[in-house]
């Protein structure tokens, strides 16, 4: 029952290692199950339970243990519960228990609960709890991801895409043609099949010869979403007479079935004959609360039949893209399958990342449909594409259309020192946690006291999470780094602000490594931070500075701050700078 429920929830049962099997063989009766689930027989003694639980808990393949007991003639529920409690003290892995029954096991179940070990009456409930634990852990791991909107190595041609969108909107159109849609995709480095639109039979022949046979021909209409459903697709056309016939046949079929639909012509593209290709779908739509969302799943003409879709909020990074792919049933077809080699997963992830880039940089994007996206061992290519746009609400925030703001790559800047070394100033990331901790530990006692107005040795885990996992829309933290002797990033300063309750001002904090004070690092960080606050539309930036911190007052004065008495603490002064242009 427990194993079946785990299968329903897609929780894999651990594969016991050879050493664990060997240990169990030495301690269990010969008739034990020899696999997971581990059946230690109905006459199991408390020691047998103890030895079995400890053996599987020490297996690296095991993440958690569910111990089950059903009362039989020789069962000792209380003694077994004591054995479980003993093992629980020896392992950090979660142990769940299921003592089935009531009167015979009631006291044992109470003992387990008093020891802080979850105990259930039914195995399904215990498995569901483990599912919720693992899901929570996984979601917390996803929350640590801070995706960037743009790749440093393949920046898209954003301006060209924006110009095309503006031209379409100027023509009072919102549905892009297939050629226009693929032009946008190409601007964001998404592989697409070359497409040209023929408006006459003669033009279809010329384009077919130019592209090269075999070709695929499809109806080009802003009113038709699924071309194959209206008889608007002809595949694997191998010669000129067949192309001419296909042109006439497509138009006549579509006109007969849907006489009121607008038709631009017939699109012609290479016929993608990929024997190992898997047809997938990537879509973008708008949720009224969360804004743009990305969908992924099985593609082709049966996409609605299988309903295999997973959903994610952009922006994506490679970790999130892999998680999105793995969340679908289609992912099981992407490995080695029926004598077909595994697909190029990295290329598929790249497509998802570039779609995420499109969403970040194009607030006009309302809908996107890549179906089919054909992926094989050589990569992926979008055979068909459809994009719907609309006017974007004016905003000074380039990512106002998104529920989650991406990592602000546009704020990264390099600063060259007089000695030729380059300091990078960039927004902080969650993976900077250890770097931030070492930076604080390396500060002198005086610098720590000036920064935190308290005597601390290092940041607590809560502070570390709070300082490195930030909402870039409502706060900002900029770190100054440069390569150390081993080529790793060394943090030499940090400046941050948080929004005050009035929503119009921000409060800043600044710290610079002692060896890098009087080198201009603090001034550079504060100037960049002030620019960020000004762009966000805040009216004032303020800070509290200890009255004895003369170096900070000198810097603030040079940056245009005014110094005022603190309303609550005479040992502190408040520095204020208006951000009006």
Q: Which of 266, 283, 290 is nearest to 216 (CA)?
A: 266
> What would the mean pLDDT of 201-225 be, rounded to a whole number?
89
CB 526 within 8 A of CB 557: no
Above 80 in pLDDT, residue 497? yes
Above 70 in pLDDT, residue 58? yes
Strand residues in 244-384 grouped as ranges (E): 265-270, 278-287, 291-298, 309-312, 365-376, 379-382
Return mean pLDDT, the chain: 90
pLDDT in the model for residue 154: 60
CB 473 within 8 A of CB 399: yes
> What would the mean pLDDT of 56-73 be, rounded to a whole number?
92
pLDDT in the model for residue 145: 67
CB 55 within 8 A of CB 99: no
Give the tens place of pLDDT for each residue, 428-477.
988 888 899 999 999 999 999 999 988 788 888 888 888 988 888 889 99
* Tokens standing for residue 16: 């016991």
**C-alpha distances out from residue 311 to 24, 176, 388, Å:** 43, 24, 19
* Tokens standing for residue 274: 């990929």
> What would the mean pLDDT of 521-544 be, rounded to a whole number?
95
Domain boundaries, the chain: 2-143, 409-578
Give the tens place of pLDDT for each residue, 305-362.
667 889 999 988 888 899 999 989 889 889 988 889 999 999 999 999 999 999 999 9
pLDDT in the model for residue 532: 94
Give the tens place of pLDDT for each residue, 142-190.
766 666 554 444 678 889 999 999 999 999 999 998 899 999 999 999 9
Give the tens place of pLDDT for each residue, 471-496.
888 899 999 999 988 888 999 999 99
pLDDT in the model for residue 339: 86
Q: Which of 578, 514, 506 is nearest to 551 (CA)?
A: 514
Return the percentage of the chain with pLDDT > 90, whole number. Answer: 65
CB 388 within 8 A of CB 176: yes
Strand 95-99 relative to strand 119-120, pairing:
parallel
CATH code for the part of the protein at 2-143: 3.40.50.261
Based on its alpha-carbon atoms, the radius of gyration of the chain, rounded to whole angstroms, reads 31
Alpha helices in 101-239 (DSSP H): 106-114, 123-143, 158-170, 178-187, 201-211
When comparing pLDDT for 541 and 488, which is higher?
A: 541
Superfamily designation of domain 409-578: Gcn5-related N-acetyltransferase (GNAT) (3.40.630.30)
CB 310 within 8 A of CB 324: yes
When comparing pLDDT for 223 and 548, which is higher?
A: 548
pLDDT in the model for residue 142: 73
């Amino acid at each position: 029952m427990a194993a079946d429920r785990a299968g329903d929830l897609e929780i894999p049962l651990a594969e016991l290692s050879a050493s664990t099997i060997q240990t169990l063989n030495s301690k269990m009766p010969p008739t034990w199950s020899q696999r997971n689930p581990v059946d230690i027989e109905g006459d199991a003694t408390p020691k047998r339970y103890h030895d079995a639980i400890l053996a599987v808990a020490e297996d690296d393949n095991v993440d958690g243990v569910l111990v089950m007991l059903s009362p039989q003639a020789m069962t000792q529920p209380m003694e077994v519960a004591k054995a479980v409690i003993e093992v629980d003290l020896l392992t950090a892995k979660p142990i769940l228990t299921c003592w089935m029954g009531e009167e015979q096991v009631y006291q044992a179940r109470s003992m387990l609960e008093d020891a802080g070990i979850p105990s259930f009456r039914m195995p399904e409930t215990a498995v569901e709890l483990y599912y919720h634990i693992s899901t929570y852990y996984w979601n917390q791991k996803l929350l640590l991801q801070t995706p960037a909107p743009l790749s440093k190595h393949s920046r898209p041609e954003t301006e060209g895409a924006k110009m095309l969108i503006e031209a379409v909107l100027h023509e009072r159109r919102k549905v892009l043609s297939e050629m226009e849609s693929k032009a946008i995709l190409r601007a964001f480095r998404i592989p697409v099949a070359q497409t040209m639109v023929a408006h006459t039979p003669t033009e279809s022949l010329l384009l077919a010869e130019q592209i090269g046979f075999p070709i695929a021909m499809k109806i080009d209409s802003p009113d038709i979403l699924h071309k194959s459903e209206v008889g608007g697709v002809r595949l694997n056309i191998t010669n000129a007479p067949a192309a001419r016939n296909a042109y006439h046949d497509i138009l006549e079929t579509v006109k007969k079935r849907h006489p009121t639909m607008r038709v631009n012509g017939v699109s012609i593209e290479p016929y993608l004959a990929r024997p190992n290709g898997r047809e997938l779908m990537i879509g973008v739509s708008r949720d009224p609360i969360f804004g743009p969302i990305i969908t992924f799943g099985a593609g082709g003409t049966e996409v609605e039949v299988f309903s295999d879709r997973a959903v994610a909020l952009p922006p994506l990074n490679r970790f999130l893209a892999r998680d999105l792919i793995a969340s679908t049933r289609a992912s099981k077809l992407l490995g080695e399958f029926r004598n077909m080699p595994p697909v190029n997963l990295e290329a598929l992830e790249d497509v998802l990342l570039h779609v995420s880039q499109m969403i970040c940089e194009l607030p006009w994007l309302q809908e996107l449909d890549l179906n089919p996206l054909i992926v094989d061992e050589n990569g992926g290519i979008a055979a068909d594409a459809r994009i719907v746009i609309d006017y974007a609400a004016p905003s000074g925030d380039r990512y106002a259309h998104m529920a989650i703001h991406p990592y602000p790559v546009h704020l990264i800047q390099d600063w060259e020192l007089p000695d030729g070394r380059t300091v990078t100033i960039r927004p902080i990331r969650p993976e900077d946690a250890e770097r931030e901790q070492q930076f604080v530990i390396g500060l002198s006692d005086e610098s720590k006291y000036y920064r935190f107005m308290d005597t601390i040795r290092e940041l607590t885990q809560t502070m570390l999470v709070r300082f490195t996992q930030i909402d870039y829309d409502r706060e900002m933290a900029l770190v100054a780094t440069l390569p150390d002797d081993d080529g790793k990033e060394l943090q030499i300063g940090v400046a941050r602000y948080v929004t005050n309750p009035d929503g119009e001002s921000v409060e800043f904090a600044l710290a610079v490594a002692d060896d890098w004070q009087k080198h201009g690092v603090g001034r550079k960080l504060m100037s960049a931070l002030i620019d960020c606050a000004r762009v966000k539309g805040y009216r004032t930036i303020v800070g509290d500075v200890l009255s004895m911190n003369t170096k900070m007052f000198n810097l603030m004065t040079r940056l245009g701050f005014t110094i005022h008495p603190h309303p609550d603490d005479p040992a502190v002064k408040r520095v204020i700078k208006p951000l009006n242009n």
